[in-house]
Amino acid sequence: MQRMSAILASLILTLALGGCATSGGTTPQEKRKAVQDMRSEVLTELYKLRPSTRAEIAAAPGYAVFSNVNINIIFASFGGGYGVVRDNRGGKQTYMKMGEAGIGLGLGAKDFRAVFVFRDRASLDRFINSGWEFGGHADAAAKSGEKGAAVGGEALIDGINVYQLTKNGLALQATVKGTKYWKDDELN
């Protein structure tokens, strides 16, 4: 019963944080601008940390940048966020949302950004149109603003390289989770 209470509490907390994990603004135009601003900031930070990613992203069929909030309470992990996928061939932007749930050991909360680099056209199209990602995840994060450090690793398949940048959080987790990405009807 105590475990169910913890899971229920984490689900409620995740839904509350999921409401906070929005792109900002009130109109679709303001929300799209906020997503594009987030994308630019994340890419600038990634290029500074790993300069080789600039060429990798430019040569790829497309890429995605997401802002995520993740909560881990004992045996459950939940998260939510938003982002945008860019098709490098035609320049089309597809705005998306995401939600995730998982099982494993973990405790804490983390605000992070993820950059997905699609190695082939099929993985890009599949991501936009189906949006599922499954993977194992293990990391440790203790970061607030510019202070602290975070190390992350992602075991993903389907022709996608993932780079994760932790913004804030205190978390220790090892989970297997499923993540659903879907098109944002309001912004597309």
What pTM, to 2 d.p., does this model score? 0.74
CB 80 within 8 A of CB 102: no
CA atoms lying within 13 Å on the CB side of residue 106: 31
* Total domain count, the chain: 1
**Mean pLDDT across the chain:** 76
pLDDT band at 186 (very low <50, low <70, confident <90, very high): very high
Structural domain including 165 reads 2-183
The answer to whether residue 18 is domain-embedded is: yes
The answer to whether residue 86 is domain-embedded is: yes
Tell me the pairing of strands 62-87 and 132-144: unpaired
Instruction: Give the pLDDT confidence score for residue 156 in this predicted structure.
Output: 55
18-38 pLDDT tens trace: 444 556 788 999 999 999 999
The answer to whether residue 188 is domain-embedded is: no
